């Protein structure tokens, strides 16, 4: 994590269609029209309303105007524009609240607790024209009885599923960091009695790691899942692999995991855990969507490298702290409720156009958005890093991260052996397991004498 300070983007933030010159004339042929449907990580606009917006644009070719859809008056509005080369119409659906609903929270899920498949089935049935006839003639109290049978059991089962697992998210690329990742996993498992499920970003894992992980899961008794998400075309894409991985760490938290996962803990691959992460999962975030650990201030000889103490970051943060992205816990339910993913992506889109902004993307972005998306500062002992924390505080550390040291530039393998005594033990255990797996594969690939005889006969 190198010391750089992002700067605000200097580009013009006005959308391209706002500056387009309207061309009066007949609308272009339908075959030349391209409908640009805006999508976000959490959903899509209604197709019927978007098609209506396109029809409006065809009728009003060459006129920059705003139309209101009859499907959702006045919630959905449309803006259209045309340019002469090539013939093109773009519909930009926008959502706004009804005048009488301005003060209501549209993202809240109040009263929706426990709703699931049974509620969906019931809503379909009650919407049928013949529903009242069925209810009167056949079984007046049917739904009341089924509610007690299905809803109670499903809610209890869902609640149990949500609270049972410790969900750990991590990313790695390259054999060195996959080696660190396996050791981190072992350190997590050694310090908890709670069932663990690991979530890995599939995009950049090596075939070797994907082949090994089922054997490791069987040996240590954990669950895992490989997740992937295609980077949206409308979102500014990074070109360097490391920065793409950083983007996946923060930009798509609301869409990477299923809704049944209430909380997720991100742990860096090059980190060692020394405590039960269930304590972090259950930590009270005070209404914030996620919690990060602030950078240490105790190693005074590194003061010259603390970039957040001056310049842009000092004025932007005020009395708030700059947080490190090596470990954080996310309340996904709250995260989605306040549309934190959309907010982070919007700010990223604005800042990422400037190559001098978001030098440490996964870290700078949440700190930059701290006024819009609150961060709960975790106690300092949740993350100890030799680069920024003094030696005295190490004995209280719940996790140890192998931060880059901009002063010494010590290689991570060398630092791991020197800083973390148990690292060598973990590494040896994992290496022995991999050798056993490889040996088992070699033995299973050798044909027995019986198999050879049978093959000769055939």
Alpha carbons 272 and 258: distance in angstroms, whole number:
27
Q: Which two tokens stand for residue 221?
A: 């008794």
Angle at 360 between CA 304 and CA 393, to 5 degrees: 50
pLDDT in tens, 399-430: 999 999 999 999 999 999 999 999 999 999 99
Q: Is residue 451 part of a domain?
A: no
Instruction: Kindly state the helix (H) or strand (E) to which residue 123 belongs, with its residue range.
Output: helix 117-126
Q: Are 79 and 17 in contact (CB under 8 A)?
A: yes
pLDDT in tens, 207-241: 999 999 999 999 999 999 999 999 999 999 999 99
Residue 356 has pLDDT above 80, yes or no: yes
pLDDT at 301: 92
Sign of CA dihedral 360, 362, 367, 368: positive
Identify whether residues 301 and 244 lie together within a single domain. yes
Q: Which domain holds residue 153?
A: 117-160
The CA-based dihedral angle spanning residues 346, 205, 183, 277, taken in that order and rounded to the nearest 10 degrees: 40
Q: Which two tokens stand for residue 147?
A: 């509610």
Terminal alpha carbon distance of the chain: 62
Identify whether residues 123 and 231 lie together within a single domain. no
Least confident of 43-52, 154-163, 241-250, 409-418: 43-52
Residue 245 has pLDDT above 90, yes or no: yes
pTM equals 0.67
Identify whether residues 252 and 132 lie together within a single domain. no
User: How many residues in the chain?
Assistant: 458
State the CB neighbour count (10 A cutoff) for residue 220: 14
- Using a pLDDT cut of 70, give the percent of the chain over it: 63
pLDDT at 79: 40
Identify whether residues 137 and 198 lie together within a single domain. no
Mean pLDDT of the chain: 76
pLDDT at 124: 63
Residue 302 has pLDDT above 70, yes or no: yes
Identify whether residues 186 and 317 lie together within a single domain. yes
pLDDT at 144: 60
pLDDT at 450: 40
Phi/psi of residue 285, nearest 5 degrees? -85, 0
CB-based contacts of 97: which residues, under 8 Å, 6+ apart? Answer: 75, 104, 106
Question: What is the count of structural domains for the chain?
Answer: 3
Q: Which two tokens stand for residue 295?
A: 């950078």
Alpha carbons 371 and 324: distance in angstroms, whole number:
17
According to the per-residue pLDDT averaged within each range, which of 103-117, 149-163, 319-333 is highest?
Answer: 319-333
Residue 180 has pLDDT above 60, yes or no: yes
Identify whether residues 192 and 148 lie together within a single domain. no
């Amino acid at each position: 994590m190198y010391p750089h300070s992002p700067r605000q983007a200097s580009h013009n933030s006005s959308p391209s269609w706002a500056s387009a010159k309207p061309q009066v004339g007949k609308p272009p042929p339908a075959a030349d029209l391209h409908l640009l449907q805006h999508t976000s990580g959490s959903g899509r606009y209604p197709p019927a309303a978007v098609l209506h917006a396109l029809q409006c644009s065809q009728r009003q070719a060459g006129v920059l105007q705003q139309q209101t859809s009859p499907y959702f008056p006045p919630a959905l509005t449309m803006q259209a524009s045309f340019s002469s080369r090539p013939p093109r119409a773009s519909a930009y659906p926008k959502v706004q609240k009804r005048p009488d609903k301005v003060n209501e929270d549209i993202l809240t899920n109040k009263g929706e607790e426990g709703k699931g498949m049974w509620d969906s089935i019931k809503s379909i049935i009650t919407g049928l024209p013949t529903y009242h006839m069925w209810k009167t003639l056949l079984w007046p109290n049917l739904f009341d009885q089924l509610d007690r049978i299905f809803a109670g059991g499903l809610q209890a089962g869902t609640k149990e599923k949500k609270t049972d697992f410790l969900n750990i998210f991590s990313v790695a690329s390259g054999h060195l960091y996959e080696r660190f990742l396996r050791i981190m996993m072992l350190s997590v498992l050694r310090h908890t009695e709670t069932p663990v499920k690991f979530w890995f970003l599939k995009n950049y894992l090596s075939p070797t790691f994907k082949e090994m992980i089922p054997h490791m899961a069987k040996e240590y008794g954990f669950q895992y899942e490989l997740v992937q998400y295609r980077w949206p075309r409308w979102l500014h894409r990074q070109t360097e692999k490391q920065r793409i991985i950083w983007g996946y760490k923060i930009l798509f938290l609301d869409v990477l995991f299923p809704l049944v996962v209430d909380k997720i803990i991100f742990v860096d691959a090059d980190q060692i855990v020394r405590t039960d992460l269930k304590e972090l999962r259950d930590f009270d975030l005070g209404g914030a969507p996620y919690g990060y650990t602030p950078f240490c201030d105790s190693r005074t000889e590194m003061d010259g490298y603390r970039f957040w103490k001056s310049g842009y970051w000092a004025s932007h943060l005020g009395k708030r702290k700059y947080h490190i992205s090596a470990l954080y816990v996310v309340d996904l339910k709250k995260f989605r409720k306040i549309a934190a993913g959309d907010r982070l992506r919007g700010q990223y889109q604005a800042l990422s156009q400037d190559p001098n902004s978001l030098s440490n993307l996964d870290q700078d972005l949440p700190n930059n958005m701290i006024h819009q998306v609150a961060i709960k500062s975790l106690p300092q002992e949740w993350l100890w890093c030799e680069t920024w924390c003094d030696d005295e505080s190490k004995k209280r550390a719940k996790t140890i991260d192998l931060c880059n040291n901009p002063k010494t530039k010590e290689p991570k393998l060398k630092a791991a052996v020197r800083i973390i005594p148990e690292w060598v033990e973990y590494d040896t255990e994992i290496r022995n397991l991999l050798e056993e797996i490889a040996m088992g594969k070699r033995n299973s690939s050798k044909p027995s004498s019986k198999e050879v005889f049978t093959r000769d006969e055939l």
